[in-house]
Structure 1
Amino acid sequence: MNTNTKPTNRRHFQLSLLALPWTLSFLSTAHAHGDQHGKANAPVVKEQKPWGIAAEPSAATRTVDIRMTDDMKLSPNHLEVRQGETLRLRAINKGKVMHEIVLGTGADLQAHADMMKKHPGMEHDEPYMAHVPPGKTGDIVWTFNRAGDFEFACLIAGHFEAGMRGTIRVKAKA
């Protein structure tokens, strides 16, 4: 009979309890991409980007629904915007898997998509992103204060590569 069984089991139990907080924190960050990251309660960070700047929800002059589906389509996949216009982009996930919408330049979105492939559980929260669980909606409120051609896409690993992207043309003020 092994007399060390109880201490070994007790030690294993104690070590398991010590590892529990780390395990729980790991699980919460592994699914962080699916959360809204407290966006509704946090103040909007307004940092000028080449494609515009975040805006308060009350500033939106119109809402554009963008449907996301598991066949890796965004609909509509092209938007026309007037320079200075503030839109509420409402991302509607009609699929059964997580999707997101991220605004940016083509180069920025490609770089971010490459990073997402390397770090699929990466946690981030920017006002030009909406992470949308299946059957839910997410909003981006954005002022397009720079004229030019920009893009929006789902950057979850594999979705961007499958063609889940669209274009935004911001027409200069006359």
Structure 2
Amino acid sequence: MSIFRKWCVVRNAGANKFFVMVFAILALSPINWASFAAGSGDHKHHKATDIGEPGKKSEVSRKIEITMFDNYFQPPFLRIKEGETVHFVITNSGELVHEFNIATREMHKAHIPEMQAMIEHGVILVDKIDWDAAKSMQKKIGHGMHDEPNSVLLEPGEKAELLWKFPRNTKLEFACNVPGHYDAGMVGKIKLGY
């Protein structure tokens, strides 16, 4: 292993502990995060066609593997053709629950309070997802199942697939919207139209 790789492993090990602490502080914060979510309501902040739409397997042009770590994605940047349908294979190789979500920056920011509500209702725990709590939250306030087609929520070690047909001429990102993760740098850019 090269010196640079050893440095990266040591650096990331320390960063993982830091992000676990940041996540715990945010999750236990006395701030009433629900008040921020009150105005956001609906998950669909833009029409699906603004950010693309679920893809058809018959239209897939390529497969892209995405690995989520505790403070970044690998690869951190994607080049996608306008109108292209991509088969994503997403793996959570971190120690925390993470999300892979394709959206605009504004949509990501609007989604974070909804994710905070999932923490407050016991759906998202540090390293696991309580799907029974998600069902209960869904019944109480109308969301909690995290079942949007542009997004997957994974526990450590889990893998998921997502087929997505990209739009034309839209600024998109892929990000983890678990509170604190986006601001810590868990966001990647999507360049459309190469």
Is the structural similarity TM-score above 0.5? yes
| Aligned amino acid, residue 140 of structure 1 | L
- How much is the aligned-residue C-alpha RMSD, in angstroms? 1.8
Deviation at 1:123, TM superposition (A): 2.5
Equivalent residue number for residue 86 of structure 1:
85
**Equivalents in 2 of 1:105, 1:97: separation in Å?**
24
Equivalent residue number for residue 32 of structure 1:
none
1:140 aligns with 2:162: yes
> Which protein has the bigger strand share?
1
Deviation at 1:49, TM superposition (A): 2.9
Deviation at 1:87, TM superposition (A): 0.4
Provide the secondary structure at the position in 1 that maps to 2:49: coil
Matches within 5 A, 1:99-114: 99-114=98-113
Larger radius of gyration: 1
Provide the secondary structure at the position in 2 that maps to 1:148: coil
| Aligned amino acid, residue 112 of structure 2 | A
Deviations 1:102-160, CA, capped at 9 Å, x for gaps: 11010001110133224423332011011122112111110113223201101112212
Maintained 8 Å contact 1:148/1:171: no
The sequence identity of aligned pairs, in percent, is 31
Equivalent residue number for residue 128 of structure 2:
none
1:59 aligns with 2:81: no
- Which consecutive residues of structure 1, in runs of 5 or more, have no partner in the other structure? 1-46
| Aligned amino acid, residue 55 of structure 1 | G
What TM-score does the superposition give when structure 1 sets the normalisation length?
Answer: 0.66
**Equivalents in 1 of 2:183, 2:48: separation in Å?**
27
Deviations 1:9-56, CA, capped at 9 Å, x for gaps: xxxxxxxxxxxxxxxxxxxxxxxxxxxxxxxxxxxxxx7331111112
Runs of 4+ in 1 over 6 A off after TM superposition: none
**Equivalents in 2 of 1:103, 1:142: separation in Å?**
9
Maintained 8 Å contact 2:92/2:157: yes
**Equivalents in 2 of 1:48, 1:146: separation in Å?**
12
Provide the secondary structure at the position in 2 that maps to 1:135: coil
> Which protein has the bigger helix share?
2
Give the length in aligned residue pairs. 125
2:148 to 109, 123, 126: 126
| Aligned amino acid, residue 171 of structure 1 | G
What TM-score does the superposition give when structure 2 sets the normalisation length?
Answer: 0.59
